[in-house]
Amino acid sequence: MTSPALRSSGARRALPSTLVCAGCGYRAPAGELPLRCPNARQGDDVDHVMRRVLDPNRVEWPAGGEANPFIRYRTLFHWYHLARAAGRSDSEIVDEIARLDERVATVDGRGFLVTPFERAARLGEAAGFADEGGVWVKDETGNVSGTHKARHLFGTLLALNLTGAPRDRPLAIASCGNAALAAAVVARADGRELHVFVPIEADPLIVDRLEELGAKVSICERSHGESGDPSFLRMREAVARGAVPFTCQGSQNGLAIEGGLTLGYEIADSMREQQLTLEHLVIQVGGGALASSVIQALGEARQLGVIERLPLAYAVQTAGVAPLVRAYRLVRDELSQGRAATDVLREATRRRSRYMRPWWPVRQSLATGILDDETYDWLEIVRGMLATGGRPLMVDEPALRQANRVALETTDIDVDPTGSAGLAGLLQLRDTAEIGRDETSAVLFTGVNRTGGTP
């Protein structure tokens, strides 16, 4: 979509950031804000994901200590650069963020704040770490709607509002849980029409809450012979009819990744403030937006001199649904034959289905929030693991159950099994001695326990 303000101003000069398709290389003109790559065609097998790329020579790391992360890190975002180019002042942009945040708080009882990233001493001890090492936890359970998902979608909404995008198109998302709830909260706050497509297995309590928030919910059954998540397919059909892809899948909404960057930026700031060298980072992966965002954000923080080195990145999936693990192994197989990583990853962007395709059958798990049959933002995660020396991990149901119990018993964080799935991967790494007792590691607790108790 193109901003009318930018069209009228004739703003075509280079901005400090650019939207570039990681698959085909399309570069969005300065006055345009495409959530999806306009070159994407059904069945073209190209990994079209619009990605915000910074010019490090034209931005600086924000020095402000504002409590709202979207205000604190605003000068790093593409929507900020577009709004400034269209003539919006910095104070006007800050006022708009604060106004929308207040409306979110009215709906959800809380707005956006920088969330804690702290050393969990009892958890580290239970995981077998020495005093010289330890486990740091990024706690998202107190965020808007009780999860990190709202970050992705609030950033998208700011982009739409601050660039003057038309408001007459409904928003659409495919999700059965936290992402849908986050979208409903944010859409309600801005008075937007939201269509939510959920699978038939969706929790009735969540569906009821979505309808309370004013969302229009469609229950999606799998058609005979259909490949892929039916709710995702129905959402794509809605987008084809004119809806805005208000979703956390980067292939449909590249700006979802930009909103999620705030998580990694906060970790980087905390590392600098605490003089912490983080050696390992373990992140649970479903659709991939969370891990992709954090990996990209830490890479930018290093590029801008905030941190000196990147931690080894590990991605955790369940043993029953692990499309990223399968894709990574295919990439590694080709690397073992002597091919250069740049060549393999370049091929992967043009032959996506060779590496990333729907997982079948999708088996149930305690970690319901990471059962995506595709990892939509997979390539950035694979690139990050290869660059840092990390790898993907598969964890079984007993490991997920143990990790959640350890999290609940050793911290004051009421996290659900999806949100603590990264800890299951960390415990696996400690059990196999791949992480030393005196090394530093971090996990993200990303979803509040909505049912109570331990699994």
Q: 305-318 pLDDT, tens per residue? A: 999 999 999 999 99
Q: Copy the structure tokens of residue 416.
A: 């659900």
Give the tokens for residue 421. Answer: 């799935």
- CA–CA separation, 175 vs 190, rounded Å? 20
The mean pLDDT value for 15-34 works out to 92
Which residues does 195 contact at the CB level (< 8 Å), separation at least 6? 170, 171, 172, 173, 215, 216, 218, 235, 238, 243
CB 202 within 8 A of CB 179: no
- The SS3 assignment for 439 reads coil
Is residue 425 pLDDT above 60, yes or no?
Answer: yes
Q: CB under 8 Å, gap of 24 or more: what pairs does 421-425 form? A: 421/284, 421/316, 421/318, 421/367, 421/370, 421/395, 422/282, 422/283, 422/284, 422/316, 423/123, 423/127, 423/282, 424/316, 424/395, 424/399, 424/400, 425/282, 425/284, 425/314, 425/315, 425/316, 425/393, 425/395
Element (H, E) at 94: helix 90-108
* pLDDT above 90 for 6: no
pTM as predicted: 0.94
Give 199's strand partners: 220
**Largest distance between two CA atoms of the chain:** 61
Coil vs helix vs strand at 181: helix
pLDDT digits (tens, 9 = 90+) for 124-164: 999 999 888 899 999 999 999 999 999 999 999 999 999 99
Who contacts 302 (Cβ-Cβ below 8 Å, separation ≥6)?
308, 309, 310
pLDDT of residue 92 exceeding 60:
yes
pLDDT at 10: 40
- What pLDDT digit, counting tens, does each position of 292-342 carry? 999 999 999 999 999 999 999 999 999 999 999 999 999 999 999 999 999
Q: In this predicted structure, what is the pLDDT of residue 450? A: 83
Band (199; pLDDT cuts 50, 70, 90): confident
- The distance from CA 104 to its chain's CA centroid, rounded to whole angstroms, is 20
pLDDT given for residue 454 in this prediction: 60
Q: How far out from the chain centre does Cα 434 lie?
A: 26
Q: What is the four-CA torsion angle of 7, 9, 12, 18, rounded to 10 degrees?
A: -70
Q: Is pLDDT above 80 for 8?
A: no
Q: Quick count: other Cβ atoms within 10 Å of Cβ 344?
A: 19
CA 79 to CA 96: how far, in whole Å?
A: 12
Per the CB < 8 A criterion, the answer to whether 315 and 385 are in contact is yes
Over the chain, what is the mean pLDDT?
93
- What domains does the chain contain, in order, with CATH numbers? 117-147+255-445 (3.40.50.1100)
pLDDT tens-place string over residues 58-76: 999 998 789 999 999 999 9
Tokens (6 digits) for 9: 């101003």
Residue 90: pLDDT above 60?
yes
Tokens of 285: 């992966």
The continuous run of DSSP H or E covering 404 comes out as: helix 397-410
The secondary structure element, H or E, covering residue 387 is: helix 378-388
Q: Are strands 171-174 and 244-245 parallel, antiparallel or unpaired?
A: parallel
Please, which pLDDT band fits residue 225 given cuts at 50, 70 and 90? Answer: confident
Which of these, 290, 373, 260, lies nearest to 327 by C-alpha position? 373
Count of other CB atoms within 10 angstroms of residue 248: 34
